[in-house]
Amino acid sequence: KNQVEQSPQSLIILEGKNCTLQCNYTVSPFSNLRWYKQDTGRGPVSLTIMTFSENTKSNGRYTATLDADTKQSSLHITASQLSDSASYICVVKGTYKYIFGTGTRLKVLA
């Protein structure tokens, strides 16, 4: 069964600290993996896309990794800011379908 599991479910950190969010998937065939950021009351917005051959990709303070062998991905946030408070959703694309994780809710405190 195609599944995407994320951990932790929620996370609270202090402003300026780093954090890492995890995504494990069992999706076949695999096309790509995206990390989305969803602010409260808004639709998800893509942060980064990972294809099968890519191991690491950065977008500003966000760095995503992908291990296609173990089917794991992570999203590392460096020097967190209050505006990073949001839900982060991992989405794996198969041939036509997008399989969504349940998200990690991040709260950054001043």
Which residues would be at the binding site for another protein (CB under 8 A)? 4, 31-32, 34, 41-46, 49, 89, 91, 93, 96-98, 100-103, 105
Nearer to another protein, 27 or 89 (CB): 89
Shortest distance, position 90 Cβ to another protein, whole Å: 9
Nearer to another protein, 78 or 94 (CB): 94
The DSSP symbol for 83 reads G
Give 87's strand partners.
Answer: 38, 105
Q: How far apart are CA 45 and CA 73, in angstroms?
A: 18
Shortest distance, position 100 Cβ to another protein, whole Å: 3
How would you label 76-107 residue by residue, b for 16+ Cβ within 10 Å and e otherwise?
A: ebeebeeebbbbbbbbbbeeeeebebebbbbe
Shortest distance, position 7 Cβ to another protein, whole Å: 14
